[in-house]
Amino acid sequence: MATLASDERRAFAATFADLGPEAPTILPGWGAPELLEHLLLRERYPHLMVGPRLPGELGRRAQQARQQLRARTWGDLVDLFRAGPGPLSFAGTVDSFSGEGELLIHHEDLRRAQPGWEPRALPEATQAKAWRALSLLAPVAVRVPADVTLVAPHGGRRLRSRRPAGSVRVHGDPLELLLWVSGRDEVAQVRIDGDDGGVQALEEGRRGL
């Protein structure tokens, strides 16, 4: 039986393949090629993320390797991503622990930049993984001087502030809340209510990594 990770990765790879290298994303300055390169470097070639900035021969070799990666066809790059990070990848270990949060978020970064996009009807198992990722990400991603309660069909997750100016409740499905805590306000489908102090604190606070 396919795992959730392979199901989501396969769906993400299909989106890359269908949209092609000209597709935009919601990330400023990044199109589909930049997003795909980011994922491949993170999962397969982390040494090439900093290597090109090293001095001397090491830096030149790393820059050449990165240029060779970029020169591969779109289909080859998508196939590399579809194959996954491998059992010894640090990124693969993190994703397995975190519920594939980065894959879920970045898939929506691509999908929701396209005209006429609509939220996906995700299976319950995927929403459960999104809830797990949310539970891990929210405490470090939400920096707001208010008590924030995330409310989903799976339950609630309260984030307490040391000196709260008020409180807010953010309602949505787990994936939508995951997008919201990562700062994707323009596409996250959530409903927010709270007292005046909490709402003001939310506007003044920060979310994302």
Q: pLDDT tens digits, residue range 72-107?
A: 999 999 999 999 887 767 777 777 777 789 999 999
Those residues whose C-beta lies under 8 Å from the C-beta of residue 14, and which sit 6 or more positions away, are none
Q: Is residue 117 part of a domain?
A: no
Quick check: is 116 in a domain? no
Q: What is the overall mean pLDDT for the chain?
A: 89
Find the mean pLDDT for residues 55-70. Answer: 72
Are 8 and 106 found together in one domain?
yes
Domain-located, residue 60: yes
Prediction pTM value? 0.88
Domain ends where: 111, 133, 155? Answer: 111
Helices (H), the chain: 4-19, 32-43, 47-50, 56-71, 74-83, 90-98, 101-111, 124-141, 174-181, 196-204
Please give the tally of structural domains in the chain.
Answer: 2
Q: Does one domain contain both 103 and 154?
A: no
Residues 15 and 10: their CA atoms lie apart, in Å, by 9
Write down the pLDDT at residue 56: 65
73 located within any domain: yes
Highest mean pLDDT pick, 23-27, 50-54, 81-85: 23-27
Give the pLDDT confidence score for residue 19 in this predicted structure. Answer: 98
Is 138 part of a structural domain of the chain? yes
Please give the pLDDT value at position 93. 76
Q: Which of 111, 146, 178 is the last residue of a domain?
A: 111
* Mean pLDDT, range 28-36, rounded to an integer: 97
Domain that holds residue 152: 125-207
- Same domain? For 39 and 129 the reply is no
CA dist., res. 17 & res. 3, Å (int): 21
In a domain, 118, yes or no: no
Question: Which pLDDT does position 66 carry in this prediction?
Answer: 75
CB-based burial label for 63 (10 Å; 0-12, 13-18, 19+): middle
Co-location of 39 and 98 in the same domain: yes
pLDDT at 3 over 60: no
Task: Write down which residue in 111, 146, 168 finishes a domain.
Answer: 111
